[in-house]
Amino acid sequence: MSRLNLDDFTDLIERPDGGVRRDAEARRERQTVPPGALGRLDELGEWLAAAQGAVPVRQVERPRVVLFAGDHGIAGLGVSARPAGGAERLVREVLEGASPVAVLARRLQVPVRVVDMALDCDPRTLPEDVVRHRVRRGSGRIDVEDALTLDETEAALRAGVAIADEEADSGTDLVVLGDVSVGGTTAAAVLVAALCGTDASVVTGRGGLAIDDLAWMRKCAAIRDALRRARPVLGDQTQLLAAVGGADLAAMTGFLLQCAVRKLPVILDGVVAAACALVAQRVAFRAPDWWLAGHDSGEPGQAKALDRMALEPLLEQGVKVGEGVGALLALPLVRSAAALAAELPELPEQPDPEATPVHPESEATPLARPE
């Protein structure tokens, strides 16, 4: 198999249709509710119309939550409030319908897909459709070793591309993207710090369960050490993901790139999705035009990444649990924007005041034929 050339995505990814967006803006100006009165809902409706290439915009009928799962060796240093290797339990809660994302997805009637890329468990204990893309059992401890080999990184990237194709081919019209991981926010923070040129302390957050000060200091030190390993390979995104990413993060990066190729809009969840999006932006600068930031998780790494991509979160509810929950909460907002853009009536067409009216009595009569 030939090597995956990430540079190809630069040519494959186009921007959403600018002409369609202008048509959507013009239509919005003709509607009965004055432009601007609906705030960001106007912008959302126009963005979605451009992504779909359709005016009026179509409703989001077949969304799906896609969660990439993995365990990270760095969790063994006590950088997470969850035990190292504990992502399997989180995945089981999603599959059993007992997690926050499962509850919300059930209520919103949105299917959830979980993709195991590097869980630290026996794959035979999980359904085949969950584990069939797995690259390895757990990712390496990134402060002292690579997360993946180059071959494993490429396999993960290709898996992400394949999953995006599967979703696009099945008719999914919008993806809510999240992760189920232990140690994932640490790896994500390293990627953000490396790509934004910042220190570890700037991007080190407290994770979904709010680690204490000692754990935060351990996390900050781990990110600092991993950054030393990341900086020499900043020019090659595949090597960067191999050194300090992980199989789940590499797959998410490939997934985001291929979604942009397939013109499939994505709502990003927390810091892990944002970090992968930042890597994907470094690969193909037009790719972020296909993504929305679902919410502000409070993680400083997420804020840094979104600022670099000029993406503004739709919601700010303090949701830190991950697993796509914050992004899924933003889905009704996107659907509402689409409904308003498509269904608000337009103002009746006004007559042109400069037009000269024609009265029947003033119409010229034909000349009489000579006798």
Q: Per-residue pLDDT tens for 100-142? A: 999 999 999 999 999 999 999 999 999 999 999 999 999 999 9
Q: Quick one: pLDDT at residue 364?
A: 47
Is residue 328 assigned to a domain?
A: yes
User: Which residues are known catalytic residues?
Assistant: 323
Q: What is the pLDDT of residue 266?
A: 98
pLDDT tens track for 71-110: 999 999 999 989 999 999 999 999 999 999 999 999 999 9
Give mean pLDDT, residues 62-66.
Answer: 98
Average pLDDT over residues 173-200: 96
Q: Are 152 and 137 in contact (CB under 8 A)?
A: no
CATH number for the domain harbouring residue 122: 3.40.50.10210
What residues have CB less than 8 Å from 302, skipping those under 6 apart?
A: 192, 205, 270, 271, 274, 275, 296
Q: Six-digit token pair at 369?
A: 């034929």
Instruction: Specify whether the CB–CB gap between 176 and 63 falls below 8 A.
Output: yes
* Predicted model pTM: 0.92
* Mean pLDDT of the region 183-209: 92
Residue 145: its pLDDT value, please? 97
SS (H, E, C) the chain: CCCCCCCHHHHHCCCCCHHHHHHHHHHHHCECCCCCCCCHHHHHHHHHHHHHCCCCCCCCCCEEEEEEEEEEHHHHHCCCCCCCCCHHHHHHHHHCCCCHHHHHHHHHCCCEEEEEEECCCCHHHCCHHHHCCCCCCCECCCCCCCCCCHHHHHHHHHHHHHHHHHHHHCCCCEEEEEEEEECHHHHHHHHHHHHHCCCHHHHCCCCCCCCCHHHHHHHHHHHHHHHHHHHHHCCCHHHHHHHHCCHHHHHHHHHHHHHHHCCCCEEECCHHHHHHHHHHHHHCCCHHHHEEECECCCCHHHHHHHHHHCCCCCECCCCCCCCCHHHHHHHHHHHHHHHHHHHCCECCCCCCCCCCCCCHHHCCCCCCCCC
**Integer Rg of the chain from CA:** 25
Residue 125 lies in a domain: yes
Cα(49)–Cα(53) distance, integer angstroms: 6
At 365 the pLDDT is 47
Separation of alpha carbons 293 and 313, rounded Å: 5
322 assigned to some structural domain: yes
How many domains would you assign to the chain?
1
- Residue 358's pLDDT band (cuts 50, 70, 90): low
The pLDDT tens digits for 42-61 are 999 999 999 999 999 999 99
Residue 360 has pLDDT above 70, yes or no: no
- pLDDT at position 368 is 47
Determine, yes or no, domain membership for 3: no
pLDDT band at 194 (very low <50, low <70, confident <90, very high): very high
Any idea what the Cα angle at residue 8 is, between residues 3 and 9, rounded to 5°? 120
In a domain, 170, yes or no: yes
In a domain, 209, yes or no: yes
pLDDT at residue 355, rounded to an integer: 60
* Whole-number Å distance between alpha carbons of 220 and 215: 9
Q: What percent of the chain has pLDDT over 90?
A: 86
Question: pLDDT averaged over the chain?
Answer: 93
Q: CB–CB of 262/165 below 8 Å?
A: yes
The verdict on residue 14 lying in a domain is: no
pLDDT (average), residues 275-293? 97
Q: So what's the pLDDT on residue 1?
A: 52
- Res 361: pLDDT: 52
pLDDT at 357 over 90: no
Q: Tell me: the pLDDT tens digits for 362-371?
A: 444 444 444 4
Identify the domain containing residue 241 by its residue range.
63-335
Of 293, 303, 302, nearest to 327 by C-alpha is 293
pLDDT computed for residue 141 by the predictor:
97
Percent of the chain with pLDDT over 70: 93
Asked, for residue 26, whether it belongs to a domain, the answer is no
Tell me the pLDDT tens digit for each residue of 199-251: 999 999 887 777 889 999 999 999 999 999 999 999 999 999 999 999 999 99
